[in-house]
Structure 1
């Protein structure tokens, strides 16, 4: 992927024409590299929120007695790529660094570290769960994550294991009756396979229940408790129903410790929506990225023509008079309407292109880097994270309309609040209109005014 990376623009540089060259550089975010005259020299490679301003700092005539880095006399060529978001800039910088310096150096320069996962060792005779940041091809299907930190992964693991009696020891068990056991067995939090206190079948059933919990994020356990709670309520066993309700809340709290993105690595799929880099004569476009089996693919540009960002909730009710449609079509005429198609079709086409580009590369180093880049962006505080992520439905399909709304928010910005309906002012205006019509001798006003009154009240 990175081996095929090339910058979009290349400009020859000379100190004599520096002013004209720098004026041609766009004042937009992006990634750039400054190359010297020697072919084997390493370039100065970085990203910037404003390419022109950053290059001027490096290539303008140096100030006297200044210690600021200046490369004016050493640069012979400028290469750069315009990006639309910080997410795209980071991904582009990673690919550029890997193409120039290699993957190992790119990993070191960007300080990428494998995220923490929970590994479920189903290949062991007595499976257990533990936190790790080491990926292995054999265990990818049993690795759940990524988590924001090791502490978060261990907190979730402990909360889940408190609901079951799976072993937590790290040793390769060779059970025998005189085994000393551990503290978890003393606290009745383990069925003690080390002491042969359970049969292999019983331990396998317990392990299967734990794996089902991880696979369904607690739904396998919550649904069963909910059914028993309803049955106890119907049979007037209120004490048992209260106990089941308390257990339900405990299980729900444990499941909530893992974000919805926590999945087995091969099942990690998400659409990341960002603002696209501006292109002349292309209008407002969003950039879509695909996280497929842990690797990031993209961007794929998608036009937001025909999509308008509107508020999903209002304070005046849910009628069509007060609540507009979530996707309000913008009229299009002529060839533009024929070439762009409907917003839903454009979104589906963009996602299909991304899925075709997903290679399913099993290189663990590349997978680790992409997971690290995604984890670094996804687990930022919501106010600091630009862009949105959308997960597929349980059947594997994508929430197209939610993706479109997210694209409109990224490109057009958050919609402003709808104006409040001034009910009293509307009633007063309606009465004044009724009075004016009566003075004009309109006998049909009695049939018109009630409809106006209802609309003033916020009804359709």
Structure 2
């Protein structure tokens, strides 16, 4: 991620002259010293001018500010529209200076995954925060925490007969087994309690369950339940329905963000520094791309606070109308015009605009993100996604089953982000 910085020179003797040039807007900033070897101070703030006035202007109550101001020779900044963008920008600047140490400075720990050990002759699942790229197809996450991943893994195993032991098995009929084999909760490959083919079948079912967040098992159970009900076998249908509910409860422990690591794709919509734009980010191939800016010019943004046009009552957060200002009647000499449409544009153009933004983000520049960047971007996405919904700014959309993006849902998300941004905007 490349960050374009604006900058002004800073003279400690004329601090006010430089500080008055700074905007009073959210930004990520860097304070550079006189020497190129000096490490910059990098931070983020909701009010750039106010923060740097407190840091750099002389103050009798805070003499240390004089020491900091005396070492600064240049102020650089990048305006941001959201905390999500600020954190991503701050990491990019820190990573350029400190490399992998930027992870520690921003407390970006690797998220937890449930990993399917498919390379083992007798596969099992474990929880890890260090899934390898070589087995990215078999790592499912990220989860909100290691405890959340462990709970999901434990509950999922209760639906199958996969082994829980960590031993490298060498099946032997003389093996004593374990408590899970005694409770009939494991196929017991340790003492050849099943054939290798039967264990491979069960392992494949577990892998499908993880890859589809339980949908593979739900489809089978729902079909059997409906068939039993159609045949008037209501007791069997009730038992199958109880199993469906149990699987659904396990599925609920894995939010939509939980996907095979190398197939995780998402679009994040955030407010932009410009009121007439929304910032679009794409998470793909292990890293975040963007922001690409989606212009909201020509969209009618509904008032989210209005009862008659609330987003709950009317999910469409925009009302596209053809961009025509009126057509003069031809051949009559009349100056009368047909009703104007106030510069709004049709939905097809809005969809094309969104598709163009996504195509730009999906362009492959041939670069491969480093392990540091992958960990940071995944941690930032996880941290933002698992916030309480009332505190989570912005929107997220996942691809449909066929891999295509839900353009209409994205446009509705743009409308909600833009409406909230306009409602909270303050004059600068």
Match among 202, 217, 223 for residue 227 of structure 1: 223
Report the equivalent of 1:377: 384
Change (3 A) 1:373 1:308: same
Distance 2:247 2:398 in 1: 23
Change (3 A) 1:169 1:7: same
Change (3 A) 1:410 1:248: same
Report the equivalent of 1:395: 402
Match among 354, 359, 363 for residue 352 of structure 1: 359
Runs of at least 5 residues in structure 1 that lack an aligned partner in the other structure: 417-460
Displacement of 1:299? 0.3
Change (3 A) 1:311 1:49: closer
Displacement of 1:69? 7.4
Corresponding residue SS for 1:10: strand
Corresponding residue SS for 2:20: helix
Distance 1:341 1:41 in 2: 52
Report the equivalent of 1:410: 417
Displacement of 1:364? 2.8
Distance 1:80 1:324 in 2: 37
Q: How does 1:247-396 map to 2 (within 5 A)?
A: 247-278=243-274, 284-310=276-302, 327-329=318-320, 332-333=323-324, 342-357=349-364, 359=366, 361=368, 363-396=370-403
Paired positions, count: 402
Report the equivalent of 1:41: 38
Report the equivalent of 1:22: 19
Q: Could you report, residue by residue, the CA deviation over 1:161-192 in whole angstroms, capped at 9, with x for unpaired residues?
A: 10100001111111101112111111111010
Displacement of 1:22? 0.8
Alignment RMSD, CA only? 2.6
TM-score by length of 2: 0.88
Change (3 A) 1:373 1:284: same
Report the equivalent of 2:131: 135
TM-score by length of 1: 0.82
Change (3 A) 1:101 1:80: same
CA contact (8 A) 1:306 1:331 kept: no
Change (3 A) 1:65 1:400: closer
Report the equivalent of 2:160: 164
Change (3 A) 1:161 1:324: closer
Radius of gyration: which is bigger? 1
Corresponding residue SS for 1:131: strand
Q: Could you report, residue by residue, the CA deviation over 1:68-95 in whole angstroms, capped at 9, with x for unpaired residues?
A: 6752222111111111110000000000
Corresponding residue SS for 1:206: helix
Report the equivalent of 1:451: none
CA contact (8 A) 1:409 1:415 kept: no
Match among 113, 121, 136 for residue 109 of structure 2: 113
Corresponding residue SS for 2:115: strand
Matched, 1:74 2:71: yes
Change (3 A) 1:22 1:388: same
